[in-house]
Amino acid sequence: MTNRSRCSMEPGNEQGRSGSSRRGFLRQLGLVGLGAALPSRSLPGFAEEMAPAALTTSAVRNRAPLARNAFYPLPLGAITPSGWLRNQLRIQANGLGGHLDETWPDVGPNSGWLGGSGESWERGPYFLDGLVPLAYLLDDSGLKAKAQKYIEWTLSSQTADGMFGPRSNDDWWPRMVMLKVLTQYQEATADPRVIPLMQSYFNYQRKELSARPLSSWGKFRWQDEVLSVLWLYNRTGDASLLELARLLHAQGHDWIAQFADFQLREPVTAERIKAAETAGLKEFALSAHGVNIGQAIKAGPVWSLLSGSKADRAAVLQMIAELDKFHGLPNGMFSCDEHLAGPNPSQGSELCTVVEYMFTLEQSLAILGAPALGDRLERLAFNALPGAMTDDMWAHQYNQEPNQVECSLHHKPWTTDGPESNLFGLEPNFGCCTANFHQGWPKFAASLFMLSDDDGIAAVAYAPCEVNTLLRGRHVRVLEETSYPFRGTVEITVHPESPLEFPLLLRIPSWADGTSIRVNRQMQPPPAAQSFARIERTWKPGDRVEIEFPLAVRSSRWFHDSVAIERGPLVFSYGIGEDWLKLRDRGMTADWQVYPTTQWNYALVLDPELPSLGITAQEREIGNHPFGAADKTPVQLLARARKLPVWRAQDGVADPVPQSPVSIDTPDETISLIPYAAAKLRITAFPQLGKADHAKPGSSS
């Protein structure tokens, strides 16, 4: 199989927007703020009548005594994706994202989250956590109807004591995920049944936690529920919710302390986990678990809203720094297959961790306003996220590797995972990622712009979209047109309903020294890299901002002093020839092994004295699959390289990348490097030829 795409770009069922909304009507009646007075089933058929609320809502700010955010996320529906990003969401909707319930029993008609006797734990909520934002971002009536079935059952499942969800379990953890779903759904629809359900459930949980405290997954993921608790507090002002948040924190794992004295500096193998448990550390595995850590990185910023502590606010950057130092990989991830696995680029990262890390960064960026978090978010969104999926999003990997030379049934190199871990398929290794990966693209799209604490608009990440929001009591529409990250130009047009003074904040990445900004063709002061450029003026309809990011090729250093090649937020890889072998059919999709058809063991010949290290960039047309179709990528890099015969693979896994610099006298070749996500078999971290060897016999230099 050489063509990994099986779906054409068929138009979806997308309805147009309406300037009026059910939310505006409800506000006039006072029902949005007083939803707690309504019984949960008081409005049958309510969801079918509701329209997108983007034109009538703005961000909800933190109530005292919570600390203030730097930025406030816009409600779901305020941002509409366009261009390549909308295309990407439509591919997801045409793939597993829109059809999983039709082909996978775990979220199908017998799901416990539809009242059936099937899977009743996390998989239904995980699926909805991506399906709900996807449906409303695309304004797709078919996807909304799918999601509504689960929503209706969930809203009707609440018992008199406040508990909701399947009766077959009382685990706090899956309900934490469903609370995330309900907050998004309420923002998009203003359904008045959501707030009373959440209020009743939180009252129940607050009373129950003393007798039934957090344990297992819930204990290590407490910060995700605190987000929902504070979401509700900001809408109701009920002080008992702050009491619940403090109780969740007290019963939850102390992630900040774990990373303040970070001991997990080596790969966490099954043997190490067993030894820890023998020594009485029964929860050691959960503290080293990749997905738990991806979620936990936001624990400091989230808790700082209650604590007000600068140390808590700073914890996120310290946690990321520790992970980068001991487990960092060139695609922006830390290794976790499925526990922390060290910096060898032949180790993998779980796809659940990718999307949870993205959500963590989106939330942490809102709280802190740190531009470095936006850099990392884009690195994941444009590399690690699409890199673990086929072009048509009908199959995904559980684990992806930056140096991935084969996807087949082998036990290496995983620390604690099984032999199917890097296959592309329906549910390789374990089905959590099958349900959970859907949140990645939609939540990224919904987080591109936020409102600043001083009544401005902030572009925190870049992709084509349209924003509709209320700012200082007036409707403002912002249109972003761009082919970023494949091109460096971003054009933003501001359309306030009438002239309006406010600041526009533009994130300048750390790699973007030399960025230029023009407003209505007038050059602005040069912005500093890794900052938010601030443009404060009275904006008039049609004012245009042009950003030009420099996309010079650069290198970064990794394991054994290997090098990765980057351009803007994109990481580049050598794309190994691929032979796709179907392992088995899986309903509407299939499981695939991928074998190499070309050699891959190259060392790069880089010259730091030449522009862009001697690497040439070639831009090409941006097609329907910008992160796939390896022979048609929007940009490729041409680099000098030499084969390194001593670098080999064992059992389908590339040996650790040799220590750089390497000395070899094989002939120079010109190789093509393509965006990481387009190369499903790839080398991303390369050995580098020593400078003294550049002119050895056999070289063309």
Does 698 score more than 80 pLDDT? no
User: Per the confidence metrics, is the pTM higher than 0.85?
Assistant: yes
Residue 259 falls inside a structural domain: no
d(CA 497, CA 643): 60
Does 28 score more than 70 pLDDT? no
Give the tens place of pLDDT for each residue, 404-452. Answer: 999 999 888 999 999 999 999 999 999 999 999 999 999 999 999 999 9
d(CA 271, CA 687): 31
Per-residue confidence (pLDDT) for residue 9, from 0 to 100? 32
Q: Are residues 594 and 571 in the same domain?
A: yes
Q: Are residues 522 and 595 in the same domain?
A: no
Residue 206 falls inside a structural domain: yes
Residue 542 falls inside a structural domain: yes
d(CA 351, CA 337): 10
The CATH number given to whatever domain includes residue 473 is 2.60.420
Residue ranges in 50-140 assigned as alpha helix (H): 83-94, 96-103, 123-138
Percent of the chain with pLDDT over 90: 88
| Mean pLDDT across 484-510 | 98
Q: Which candidate, 532, 464, 485, places its Cα nearest to that of 504?
A: 532
Q: Are residues 476 and 610 in the same domain?
A: no
Give the tens place of pLDDT for each residue, 356-370. Answer: 999 999 999 999 999
Does 41 score more than 70 pLDDT? no
Q: Are residues 655 and 563 in the same domain?
A: yes
d(CA 287, CA 130): 26
- Quickly state the pLDDT bin for 671 (edges 50, 70, 90): very high
Q: Are residues 514 and 604 in the same domain?
A: no
d(CA 124, CA 126): 5
Mean pLDDT, the chain, rounded, equals 91
Q: Which residues of 166-231 form beta strands (DSSP E)?
A: none
Per-residue confidence (pLDDT) for residue 57, from 0 to 100? 65
- Quickly state the pLDDT bin for 58 (edges 50, 70, 90): confident
Dihedral (Cα; 223, 229, 231, 237), 10-degree rounding: -140
List of residues 6+ apart from 213 with CB closer than 8 A: 219, 251
Residue 391 falls inside a structural domain: no
Q: Are residues 30 and 155 in the same domain?
A: yes
Q: Which residues of 413-562 form beta strands (DSSP E)?
A: 449-452, 457-459, 465-471, 474-482, 489-496, 500-508, 516-519, 522-523, 531-539, 543-548, 553-557
Residue 360 falls inside a structural domain: no
691 vs 335, which has greater pLDDT? Answer: 335
Q: Are residues 617 and 678 in the same domain?
A: yes
d(CA 379, CA 400): 15
Domain edge (last residue) among 548, 569, 584: 548
Q: Are residues 485 and 615 in the same domain?
A: no
List of residues 6+ apart from 39 with CB closer than 8 A: 196
Residue 471 falls inside a structural domain: yes
Per-residue confidence (pLDDT) for residue 647, from 0 to 100? 98
Does 338 score more than 80 pLDDT? yes
Q: Which residues of 398-499 form beta strands (DSSP E)?
A: 399-400, 449-452, 457-459, 465-471, 474-482, 489-496
Give the tens place of pLDDT for each residue, 250-281. Answer: 999 999 999 999 999 999 999 999 999 999 99
Looking at the structure of the chain, the number of domains it has is 3
Give the tens place of pLDDT for each residue, 62-119. Answer: 999 999 999 999 999 999 999 999 999 999 999 999 999 999 999 999 999 999 999 9
Give the domain extent around 673: 558-693
Look at the alpha carbons of 406, 409, 412, 417 in this order and tell me if their dihedral is positive or negative. positive
Give the tens place of pLDDT for each residue, 109-166. Answer: 999 999 999 999 999 999 999 999 999 999 999 999 999 999 999 999 999 999 999 9
Beta bridge partners of 605: 640
Give the tens place of pLDDT for each residue, 443-469. Answer: 999 999 999 999 999 999 999 999 999
Q: Are residues 147 and 35 in the same domain?
A: yes
On whether the CB atoms of residues 634 and 621 are closer than 8 A, the answer is yes
Does 37 score more than 70 pLDDT? no
List of residues 6+ apart from 267 with CB closer than 8 A: 335, 339, 340, 341, 342, 347, 415
On whether the CB atoms of residues 688 and 604 are closer than 8 A, the answer is yes
Beta bridge partners of 623: none
574 phi, psi to nearest 5 deg: -85, 120
Does 220 score more than 50 pLDDT? yes
Domain edge (last residue) among 514, 548, 582: 548
Q: Are residues 523 and 565 in the same domain?
A: no
Domain edge (last residue) among 201, 223, 252: 252
Q: Are residues 41 and 108 in the same domain?
A: yes
Residue 620 falls inside a structural domain: yes
Residue 488 falls inside a structural domain: yes
Per-residue confidence (pLDDT) for residue 177, from 0 to 100? 98
Q: Are residues 516 and 622 in the same domain?
A: no
| Mean pLDDT across 308-328 | 97
Does 31 score more than 70 pLDDT? no
